[in-house]
Amino acid sequence: MTILTRIKQINFKKISWRAILGNIKGFLGVIWRMMAFFVLLFIFLFKKFNLWFGKLPKIRNVWHFFQEKTGGFFKPFSKRLTVVVDKIDYSFGRRKTRRTFLINLAFSNLMLKKSRTLMTVLGMSIGVGAIVFLLSLGYGIERLVIKQVATLEEMKIIDVSAGDNTSLRLNRHVYEKIKEFREVQEVIPIVSVVGKLTYNKATMDVVVYAVPKKYFDFSHSKLIKGEFFASGAGVEQSRILPPDLRGKVAGVEFQAEEGEYLKKIAPEKVSFNILPGERAKVFAECNVSAKMLGYTVRSEGGYQGEWIYGSSFYPNKQERVIIDKKRNIYLGRWLRGYFPLYQVGLDGDLKQDMGDGERQSWVEGCIPEREVEVNVPLRLGGVLGEATEAGTFTSDSASGSSTLFETVTVASSAGGLEVVTLQATSSAKLQQNIVEFKAPVSGQVVVSSGLLNLLGIPWEKIEGTEFTLSFVLVKNLMPEIEGRATTTEVAYKVIGVIDDENSSYLYIPFADLYNQSITGFSQMKVVLAKKEDLEKVRKEVETMGFKTSSVVDTVSQIENLFANIRIVLSLLGFVALAVASLGMFNTLTVSLLERTREIGGMKVMGVVAEEVEDLFLAEAMIMGLAGGVGGLIIGSLAGKLVSLIFSLIAFAKQGIFMDLTYTPPFFIIFIICLSFIVGVITGVYPAVRAKRISALNALRYE
Amino acid sequence: MSQKILIEIKNLKKSFLMKDKAVEVLKGINFKVYQGEFVVIFGPSGCGKSTLLNILLGLEAPTEGEVYYEGKDFYSLTEDERAFYRRHHVGMIYQQPLWVSSLTVAGNVSFPLYLLGLPEEEIEKRTAKILEMVEMSARKDFVPTEISSGQQQKVSLARALAIDPILIVADEPTGNLDTLSGYQLVKTFTKLNEEEGKTIIMVTHDLEYLRFGTKIVHMIDGQIVEEYFPKRRKELPSNFKGYKKSINGQSEINVRDPDLLKKLKL
């Protein structure tokens, strides 16, 4: 209570460490006493409240039940509460006036002038209520706006894209890596391409998203008709291969070779060379998703290396599909060895990669068997047990390589259509090329309602409407192609419609595109278990070099905007509060003047200055606190009223009550503290004045 | 007297500034209060009785001189320490009782007990007992200003006695009372003095009550002009019936300043 006097007592000229320590100690003591006083005041008000509650006819039973549940601790005069109060009270000194008594007295003083106290508290309530009303409106509208922008689920999602960095690709490796993060619940890959949609003989370009089924669980999309596709295919389950390799799939006959990822095709080294005039890409691993180190060209002496099954690549020149039955993926043939490294210069020509030194760097790497001729080692049959099989392989490969230089070779299966496509040899010629669409295809599509309008499909006939699609694939998705390639047309049937009038796009199952030997994704949605981890995971993904975005960005912009609005609103509210606290100040001062004689009399009886100060502070605090509680009630009632009126006016059609206000729990605590502090501040001056009243005033008054 | 000195006042002077002029209200007062005495101070209005009492209670510092309580210099203590002394040892009764307006009769009586920081139950017990003693139990839930002044003074007495003080200070306690009530109050003082050995200092200008004291102090114009110790209660010297009688210098009457008396034509 005596902070002011203590500050005055500090002699600034003679500050010594001991004095400072003493002052700090004293200051802490004052703080402790203040807090103890607050606690006592709270307990006192609680008791009053409790008694009052216990008297109310209907609430009484509930209240008693609550008291029983809490072990009777909160019973107004429970022993334990009394013990707590005594403990705190006696910390002021055992032989001193109990603070509880002063608080009690303050309350009686306030109750003596009931109407005046009530008016003052009402004034405070209106002041505090103004703040509560304005700010809860601010919070409420912000919440409504954010709700429009994003659902709670979406706040947990990070959109990852490759961004401007073209050397980085989103692929299965990245997918696996992100999925391993502890905070990540789900990673959803998305491939978005431009599709050419043909319906009723008219062709148009639409955006096609190839998404796994679970994508819909986390997106905002609302289905207004039909259903989402049933296929749960994602990265793991994609590239589903026909169970019988030589059987019929989707009505098409199939011929396939069986291999195993990263297994050697021939047990010993093979010699090979790059075809004249060609450049071969060198990858760090036998996988097109791996880092590309550079290029290499034909060498006079040829190369030696391992012949290995790696990831499938495009364009593939093999006659037959190679599949890994165990992993359920397509494979391609690769060569691993040491290669002199070249890089593409500014003019497009190859330059020797000098690395750091003066000699050309040689690296160990993998090149896809494409711009390569392989000399198949001749082995004696019977030396190795698997000779026959190996022989079959090699002869196949040999024939493959001998025809490599030819242009397109279509796999000669019965249908002649669905088997892996074989393409032109020169990469320069790949641009604008047409690629065969690989089976199987789901044929299911979910469209946006905007697209339906564009196509002019009548509402009743939506489900089952068929159209054909072909997809434009780009280098990002398929590192092997230069420029773009278009797939052949495939038939699709509409199974569902999404509510989005404003834009036209469609969804197809992820597997449909992924099966086209696509290695890259356009985007990934990373779903987190908790939204608190968002920033952390974002940072981690960004350090991997990818661009991230999240609806949280928009939300935080909105939050910023509303934080500013709230500042303005709270300024308005504080004006009202300032006026109200002037009123309270006035009441306290008047009541002080009225009671000059009484206070003098109390001092004659031995009440000390500090106790008088505490008495007045207690009165101010009780009024402030009551004003805070009243303000919360008035403010939120006003908020509800305004919400009701707005709902009636603006949303009359929908007939829904829309709550425009929202009061966060911390805000309630803040308001209570604020009103308490306002009480203390307005109480300080009257309290100090009361403290200075001389006892003689009482005796001379006559 | 072999009794312990409770209060000793030495050369007490007090002057007030009135329009830049120092007015001396107390002009060097010396006297002692022994434990168990019933001191009655009397004198005309403006003679400095109340100022003396205020200084005695530690409410305002003297300009000169000292006040000793049980041998301790009272004004070497801080204001708060003097207040603590009062709350623990001194009961006070004024002509106009100083009520705490928001408290009931019982509340006001228990007020000094709360100041002592006593436990709730004990306060309640003592309050009930003391109200019983002054026969005011029936009025305990009244607001003090609602009851008659005689009753108020009874409650005031109860409040003064609640802390079981060693000293009771009464400043014109009978001023507002009718003769009977005043008489009863002073009778109670006497009883307290005789039976419980309380030291009492009473200021009055009603000569009727002089005969209850064990020591009578006559003050005029800021000075003590005579002190009288009646041998028995209710016994007053024939020459002590008022200030107008001259004083013959009887042994019991301690005439401080005969010249002054003559000058005042008493």
- Give the residue-averaged pLDDT of A666-685: 89
Higher pLDDT, A255 or A656: A656
Contact A622, A615 (CB under 8 A): no
User: Which residue segment(s) compose the domain that B15 sits in?
Assistant: 5-263
- Does A472 lie at the interface with B, CB-CB under 8 angstroms? no
- In this predicted structure, what is the pLDDT of residue A246? 38
Hey, are the CB atoms on A105 and B80 less than 8 Å from each other? no
The residue to which tokens 């230069």 are assigned: A482
pLDDT-derived band at A133 (thresholds 50, 70, 90) equals very high
ipTM: 0.85
Q: Using a CB-CB distance cutoff of 8 angstroms, which residues of chain B are in contact with residue A606?
A: 83-88, 90, 112, 115
Here the CATH number for the domain that contains residue B13 is 3.40.50.300
Q: Which of A471-475, A620-624, B70-74, B81-85 has the lowest mean pLDDT?
A: A471-475
**Least Cα separation, residue B98 to chain A (angstroms):** 5
- In this predicted structure, what is the pLDDT of residue A412? 35
Q: Using a CB-CB distance cutoff of 8 angstroms, which residues of chain A are in contact with residue B54?
A: 696, 699
- Give the residue-averaged pLDDT of A295-314: 84
Cα–Cα distance, A683 to A679 (Å, whole number) = 6
- In this predicted structure, what is the pLDDT of residue A318? 59
Cα–Cα distance, A654 to A510 (Å, whole number) = 38
Most confident among A261-265, B70-74, B243-247 (mean pLDDT): B70-74
- Does B115 lie at the interface with A, CB-CB under 8 angstroms? yes
Quick one: angle between helices A79-90 and A17-55, nearest 10?
Answer: 150
Cα–Cα distance, A363 to A152 (Å, whole number) = 50
Q: Which of A286-295, A373-382, B85-94 has the lowest mean pLDDT?
A: A373-382
Q: Using a CB-CB distance cutoff of 8 angstroms, which residues of chain A are in contact with residue B100?
A: 105, 598, 601-602
pTM of the model: 0.64
- In this predicted structure, what is the pLDDT of residue A5? 62
Hey, are the CB atoms on A606 and B86 less than 8 Å from each other? yes
The pLDDT tens digits of the residues spanning A594-626 come to: 888 889 888 888 888 888 888 998 899 899 989
Q: Using a CB-CB distance cutoff of 8 angstroms, which residues of chain B are in contact with residue A702?
A: 95-96
* Chain B contact probe: residue of A591, A605, A612, A700 with most B CBs at under 10 A: A605
- Give the residue-averaged pLDDT of B231-256: 45
Hey, are the CB atoms on A604 and B88 less than 8 Å from each other? no
Hey, are the CB atoms on A601 and B99 less than 8 Å from each other? yes
Q: Which of A280, A339, A258 is nearest to A305 (CA)?
A: A339
- Does A99 lie at the interface with B, CB-CB under 8 angstroms? no
Hey, are the CB atoms on B101 and A112 less than 8 Å from each other? yes
**Least Cα separation, residue B99 to chain A (angstroms):** 7
Q: Which of A9-18, A110-119, A312-321, B144-153 has the lowest mean pLDDT?
A: A9-18
- In this predicted structure, what is the pLDDT of residue A115? 92
Torsion angles phi and psi, residue A258, rounded to 5: -100, 135
Torsion angles phi and psi, residue A172, rounded to 5: -60, -30
**Least Cα separation, residue A536 to chain B (angstroms):** 57
Q: Using a CB-CB distance cutoff of 8 angstroms, which residues of chain A are in contact with residue B95?
A: 702
- In this predicted structure, what is the pLDDT of residue A120? 92
Per-residue pLDDT for A271 more than 70?
yes
- Give the residue-averaged pLDDT of A59-86: 71
Average pLDDT, chain A: 77
- In this predicted structure, what is the pLDDT of residue A227? 77
- Give the residue-averaged pLDDT of A665-682: 89
Hey, are the CB atoms on B59 and A111 less than 8 Å from each other? no
A 257-286 residues with CB below 8 A of B?
none
Q: Which of A169-178, A182-191, B29-38, B217-226 has the lowest mean pLDDT?
A: A169-178
- In this predicted structure, what is the pLDDT of residue A488? 84
Q: Write the DSSP string, A575-641.
A: HHHHHHHHHHHHHHHHHHHHTHHHHHHHHHTT--HHHHHHHHHHHHHHHHHHHHHHHHHHHHHHHHH
Cα–Cα distance, A200 to A2 (Å, whole number) = 89
Per-residue pLDDT for A243 more than 60?
no
Hey, are the CB atoms on A699 and B92 less than 8 Å from each other? no
- In this predicted structure, what is the pLDDT of residue A429? 41
Amino acid at B149: S
Q: Using a CB-CB distance cutoff of 8 angstroms, which residues of chain A are in contact with residue B59?
A: 604, 694-696, 699
The pLDDT tens digits of the residues spanning B159-194 come to: 999 999 999 999 888 888 888 888 888 888 988 888
Higher pLDDT, B103 or A52: B103
For chain A, give me the number of helices (H) and strands (E)? Answer: 17, 25
Give SS3 for A474: strand
Q: Write the DSSP string, A166-195.
A: TT---BHHHHHHHHTSTTEEEEEEEEEEEE
Q: Which of A671, A661, A606 is nearest to A97 (CA)?
A: A606
Per-residue pLDDT for A12 more than 70?
no
- In this predicted structure, what is the pLDDT of residue A589? 92
Hey, are the CB atoms on B95 and A699 less than 8 Å from each other? no
The pLDDT tens digits of the residues spanning A198-240 come to: 888 888 889 998 888 888 877 777 778 777 776 544 454 444 4
How many domains does chain B divide into? Answer: 1
Cα–Cα distance, A310 to A282 (Å, whole number) = 13
Hey, are the CB atoms on A606 and B171 less than 8 Å from each other? no
